[in-house]
């Protein structure tokens, strides 16, 4: 196996593929990426047995065909350290991968390609295509609410639901919920619900560009595949039942607050400085036209600020984890944000004024 490639052509696919590879591995071969040269194409594959990413690069001149696995991090660090306009020669010599560029010479250990595992396929059951920007927006608007290492393993991921010509993303960690929706073209009456693991969602988001190019999603019984440009992404699905998110969304709120998103975000950020570092609680006190935000901590330090808002619902006191509020205000684009509330024990429904497709639910805190 021998090939010549420019650093510029290799670095992007290498970084994306190496991102899938975990630093600490049970199997030595999982720390490696699989290189396959054939004709004028080089393919790179990385996996952690749950998520797999294959990137393809066109070569300027045909390669001597072959396949081998090399350490992902070391190959990436070598490529990063070379000059931007460098040309890189890769040649397999016995058990070593020889890398030459200018006056630099490196020899990397290898493992045989046949030891490299691939994520096994399941029969395809469903396909859909949508713009990359739409899928990326769905992930951005909801991804921050995914749980991390929760014992309820089905929360450590994102629900993707296809129904009535819409693709909906839902994420929750049990304290808050985020959901967004985008129109897609599907067969009438087709329905699908899958849970994609957290790592799969994060890696897919890195792949997606903001443009109008489309991404094709293929859903199987226990995997999802996305074809994005020169990359093929595959992730296993989480086998579990996602909570009924429709029951979580409050429908009976009778108090509505409208406020300037950036102003509220700055107020919450300031008050958060003196909130309890562990619980991050802030108390919101609402009276007609005025919102008072307060926080204190075990050192008996206090912060308080009032802000003018559009609110005519009478007196209400309610506590929240300020981080959850800031996450929502950071992800919205609207200038005006709407809070719909019922009482101090009921969840708040938060929306951007011009973003009806995204809904956020935050549970209250006892203060």
- pLDDT at residue 189 in the model: 76
Give a yes or no: residue 367 inside a domain: no
The answer to whether the CB of 237 falls within 8 A of the CB of 224 is yes
What average pLDDT does range 57-73 have in this prediction? 95
| pLDDT score at 221 | 87
pLDDT at 343: 96
Residues 243 and 129 in one domain: yes
| Sheet containing 166-172: order of strands | 192-197, 157-163, 166-172, 176-183, 355-362, 348-352, 336-341, 255-260, 310-311
Specify which residues 318 forms β-bridges with: 284
Partners of residue 261 on adjacent β-strands? none
Residues 228 and 301 in one domain: no
Q: Report yes or no on 270 lying in a domain.
A: yes
Question: With 90 as the cut, is the pLDDT of residue 113 above it?
Answer: yes
* Residue pLDDT, tens place only, 159-196: 999 998 999 999 999 999 999 999 998 877 788 999 99
Rounded distance between C-alpha atoms, residue 367 and residue 360, angstroms: 21
**Residue ending a domain, choose from 81, 115, 149:** 115
> Is residue 242 pLDDT above 80, yes or no?
yes
Instruction: Specify whether 32 is located in the same domain as 63.
Output: yes
CATH code of the domain covering residue 11: 3.10.150.10
Whether residue 128 sits in one domain with residue 99: no
In tens, the pLDDT along 140-152 reads: 999 999 999 999 9
For residues 267 and 240, membership in a common domain is answered with no
pLDDT of residue 26: 85
Q: Are residues 243 and 261 in the same domain?
A: no
Domain boundary among 193, 223, 247: 247
Give the lowest-confidence range in 37-41, 125-129, 213-217, 267-271.
125-129
pLDDT value at position 216?
93
Residue 349, strand partner residues:
340, 361
Q: What does the pLDDT read at residue 188? A: 73
The whole domain housing 58 covers 2-115
Angle at 287 between CA 285 and CA 293, to 5 degrees: 30
Which sign, positive or negative, has the C-alpha torsion 208, 210, 215, 221? positive
Which of 224, 247, 270 is the last residue in one of the domains?
A: 247
User: Cα-flanking dihedrals φ and ψ of residue 152, to 5°?
Assistant: -80, 85
> pLDDT at position 210, please?
74
Query: Can you give the pLDDT at residue 187?
Result: 79
Q: What is the pLDDT of residue 123?
A: 78
CA distance 295 to 272: 7
Contact call for residues 292 and 282 (beta carbons, < 8 A): no
In the DSSP assignment, the letter for residue 64 is B
The pLDDT mean for the chain works out to: 95
- Where in 48-119 does DSSP place strands (E)? 51-58, 66-71, 87-93, 96-101, 104-109
Question: DSSP secondary-structure letter at 111?
Answer: B
Are residues 229 and 129 both part of a single domain?
Answer: yes
pLDDT tens readout for residues 255-284: 999 999 999 999 999 999 999 999 999 999
């Amino acid at each position: 196996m021998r090939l010549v490639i420019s650093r510029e052509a290799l670095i992007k696919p290498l970084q994306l593929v190496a991102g899938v590879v975990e630093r600490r591995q049970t199997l030595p071969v999982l720390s490696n990426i699989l290189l396959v040269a054939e004709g004028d194409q080089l393919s790179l594959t990385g996996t952690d047995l749950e998520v797999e990413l294959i990137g393809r690069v066109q070569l300027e001149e045909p390669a001597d065909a072959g396949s081998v696995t090399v350490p992902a991090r070391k190959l990436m660090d070598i490529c990063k350290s070379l000059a931007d306009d460098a040309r890189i020669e890769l040649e397999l010599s016995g058990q070593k991968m020889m890398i030459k560029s200018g006056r630099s010479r490196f020899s990397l250990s290898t493992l045989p390609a046949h030891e490299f595992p691939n994520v096994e396929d399941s029969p395809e059951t469903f396909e859909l295509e949508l713009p990359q920007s739409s899928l990326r927006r769905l992930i951005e608007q909801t991804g921050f609410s995914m749980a991390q290492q929760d014992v309820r393993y089905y929360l450590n991921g994102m629900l993707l639901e296809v129904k009535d010509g819409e693709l909906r993303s839902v994420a929750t960690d049990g304290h808050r919920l985020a959901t967004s929706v985008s129109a897609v073209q599907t067969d009438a009456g087709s329905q699908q619900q899958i849970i994609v693991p957290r790592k799969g969602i994060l890696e897919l988001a890195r792949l997606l560009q903001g443009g109008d190019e489309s991404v094709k999603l293929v859903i199987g019984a226990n995997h999802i595949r996305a074809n994005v440009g020169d990359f093929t992404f595959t992730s296993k699905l989480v086998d579990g039942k996602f909570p009924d998110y429709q029951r979580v969304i409050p429908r009976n709120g009778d108090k509505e607050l409208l406020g300037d998103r950036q102003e509220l975000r700055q107020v919450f950020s300031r008050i958060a400085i003196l909130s309890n570092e562990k619980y991050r609680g802030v108390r919101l006190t609402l009276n007609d036209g005025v919102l008072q935000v307060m926080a204190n901590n075990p050192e008996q330090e206090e912060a308080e600020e009032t802000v003018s808002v559009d609110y005519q619902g009478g007196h209400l006191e309610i506590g929240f984890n300020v981080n959850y509020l800031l996450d929502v205000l950071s992800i919205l684009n609207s200038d005006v944000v709407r809070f719909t509330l019922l009482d101090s024990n009921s969840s708040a429904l938060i929306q951007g004024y011009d973003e009806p497709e995204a809904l956020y639910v935050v549970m209250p805190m006892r203060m």
